Amino acid sequence: MSKRLKHRLRSVAVVAALLILPQVVQERYFLHIVVMAGIYTIMTMSWNLLAGYSGQLNLGHAAFFGIGAYSSALLAMKLGVSPWFGLLGGGVIAGFFGFLLGFPALRLSGPYLAITTIGFAEILRLVAVNWVDLTRGSLGLSGIPLLTPIRLGSWGMEFYFERDYYYVVLAAVVFTYFCMLRFTHSEFGVSLQALRDDEQGAQSIGIHTSQYKLAVFTISAFFAGMAGGLFAHFTRLVSPDTMSLHVTFDTLTMTMIGGLGTTAGPILGAVLLSLLSEWLRTLEDFFRMDIRLVLYGFLLILTIRFMREGLVGVVRALKEGFSSYGKGRNAGGDHD
């Protein structure tokens, strides 16, 4: 009970700190980075559900991000749909594409699935480049509308500044986190992990693995699409680059370094690497190259080689180390 209370209190403290952050640090550039980190957090959490919990190595996640970004931008620009519904619409459309990408996953796995999903994203990127009438090609869509103001009686909120978007993205991150927590810690999540660990074993206990794969591809794509929509209305510029492999690679790197298949890993990875890569950018002039990628690659190798559960694994090991150290001392005390 007291442990649970402690847990609750800690959650409340974290949320409170996040809520007052933009009041404390008002520098817009910093808040821009934090908002982008939040958007990436939604990407990593959704990719983690697919790759970490279900074992489906999807390397086309950027496609869902891009589809969400384009859909939500175009819904607002061409059809005049409120961006708020556009966010949802972008998620739903991305979810539909996720469902479609689920079908090859029924027959393929491992590297074959990975390559197929890269191809899928690449095709969609080329569509975005070439369908100039709709997407304005490689120029991209610009002048995407801001999120429309919210009014509740006398209270209102407008969306001009990073600070305002910060709260929207924070809400989306918390919502996504809550959903992922529920998904993974339920009969649904146990079933996904079962099919990840042994597909034939899962089928032998009645798990309709094909349906689960389609469902998890759809769900994961929905959240990635929502992240794309937030990105579109925040940066107000969407280009085919949103679907390029480097977006997937960033997502993958953040998730793996944070801790694949863990609850906190994707958040930890996305936030730390986003901040780190901004800092590294300032060193670019000094190194005269993109030091970022070198470091990412290095960290990734370290993670895969030594710590499969990433930073979460490191923290866990340290905690266990401390507690067993404590126990060791206690045992010694008993001896006396």
Partner 1 sequence: MAKAGTPVAIMTEILKIENLTKYFGGLCAVDSVSFSLDEKVIMGLIGPNGAGKTTLVNMISGAIPPNHGRILFNGTDIAGHKAHAINNRGIARTFQVVRIFSKLTALENVMAGLVDRRQKGPWRLAFASLVGGFGKQSQNPENRAAAEGLLELVGIGGYRDELAENLPYALTKRLEIARALATRPKLLLLDEPSSGLNPAELVDQIALIREINKQGITILIIEHVMKVIMDISDRLVVIHYGKKIADGKPEAVYTDPNVVEAYLGGESHAAR
Instruction: Give the integer Cα–Cα distance in Å for 265 and 156.
Output: 35
Is the CB of residue 71 less than 8 Å from the CB of residue 206?
Answer: no
Q: Which is nearer to partner 1, 166 or 223 (CB)?
A: 223
Instruction: Give the integer Cα–Cα distance in Å for 188 and 287.
Output: 47
What is the distance, to the nearest Å, from the Cα of residue 173 to the centroid of all Cα atoms in its chain?
9
The verdict on 183 binding partner 1 (CB under 8 A) reads yes
With CB under 8 A as the rule, give the number of residues binding partner 1: 32
Q: Which is nearer to partner 1, 208 or 329 (CB)?
A: 208
The verdict on 215 binding partner 1 (CB under 8 A) reads yes
Stretch that binds partner 1, among 26-34, 208-216, 247-255, 282-290 (CB under 8 A): 208-216
The verdict on 323 binding partner 1 (CB under 8 A) reads no
The verdict on 84 binding partner 1 (CB under 8 A) reads no
| Residue given tokens 């290095």 in the structure block | 298
- The residue from 67, 124, 172, 202 that contacts partner 1 (CB under 8 A) is 202
- Residue 196: which residues within 8 A CB-CB, separation 6 or more? 53, 54, 55, 56
The verdict on 297 binding partner 1 (CB under 8 A) reads no
Among 68, 78, 18, smallest CA distance to 46 is for 68
The verdict on 1 binding partner 1 (CB under 8 A) reads no
The verdict on 198 binding partner 1 (CB under 8 A) reads yes
Q: Which is nearer to partner 1, 185 or 281 (CB)?
A: 185
The verdict on 197 binding partner 1 (CB under 8 A) reads yes
Q: Which is nearer to partner 1, 70 or 222 (CB)?
A: 222
To partner 1, the closest distance from the beta carbon of 185 in angstroms equals 5
- The residue from 9, 17, 190, 304 that contacts partner 1 (CB under 8 A) is 190
Classify residue 162 by burial, with Cβ atoms within 10 Å: 0-12, 13-18, 19+.
buried
The verdict on 217 binding partner 1 (CB under 8 A) reads no
Stretch that binds partner 1, among 71-79, 187-195, 239-247, 264-272 (CB under 8 A): 187-195
What pairing do the DSSP bridges indicate for beta strands 141-142 and 150-152?
unpaired
User: Amino acid letter at 307?
Assistant: M
What is each CA distance from 98 to 11, 60, 104, 199, in whole angstroms? Answer: 32, 10, 11, 20
User: Amino acid letter at 161?
Assistant: F
To partner 1, the closest distance from the beta carbon of 71 in angstroms equals 22
The verdict on 312 binding partner 1 (CB under 8 A) reads no
The verdict on 268 binding partner 1 (CB under 8 A) reads no
To partner 1, the closest distance from the beta carbon of 59 in angstroms equals 22
To partner 1, the closest distance from the beta carbon of 226 in angstroms equals 15
| Helices and strands in the chain: count of H runs, count of E runs | 14, 4
The verdict on 20 binding partner 1 (CB under 8 A) reads no
- Residues 13-25 as b/e (b if ≥16 CB within 10 A, e otherwise) read eeeeebeebbeee
Classify residue 68 by burial, with Cβ atoms within 10 Å: 0-12, 13-18, 19+.
buried
Tokens of 9: 């209190």
- The residue from 59, 76, 128, 216 that contacts partner 1 (CB under 8 A) is 216
Interface with partner 1 by CB under 8 A: which residues?
179, 182-183, 185-191, 193-194, 196-198, 200-209, 211-212, 214-216, 219, 261
